[in-house]
Amino acid sequence: MKLPSIRRTAPPAPSAAGCPELVAAADSAEATAQGGQECQDCRAVGEQTWAHLRMCLTCGHVACCDSSPHRHATAHHHDSGHPVMRSFEPGESWRWCYVHAQLG
């Protein structure tokens, strides 16, 4: 059986230009972090450990990353629809758009 030939196109270069959420997040003043250096959602369920923290640029919600047991940052995106989180780790300033799964 012969497989149909599929024309491959190069994937778009990763850049904030294709992601309106990241552009908007870069232009707007950053939200103030709510709750300090811990995941409030983990505290609420009695979880003491998480890997890294992310902060929602829309509302300042601080939550744990996808390497943590509860993945509260992703859960916050699903609950709220807020599109962009940034790293809340010292020395890290990258942003992540959940809508386009894109770094910015």
Question: With contact defined as beta carbons under 8 Å apart, do 96 and 85 qualify?
Answer: yes
In the stretch 25-64, what mask flags binding to Zn ion with x, by CB under 5 A? Answer: --------------x-xx-------------x-xx-x--x
Residue with token string 């904030």? 16
Total residue length of the chain: 104
Q: Which one of the spans 3-11, 21-29, 80-88, 91-99 is the region binding Zn ion (CB under 5 A)?
A: 80-88
Tell how far CA 53 is from the center of its chain.
Answer: 10
How many residues at the interface with Zn ion, by CB under 5 A? 12
Chain contacts with Zn ion (rule: CB under 5 A): 39, 41-42, 56, 58-59, 61, 64, 70, 72, 80, 82
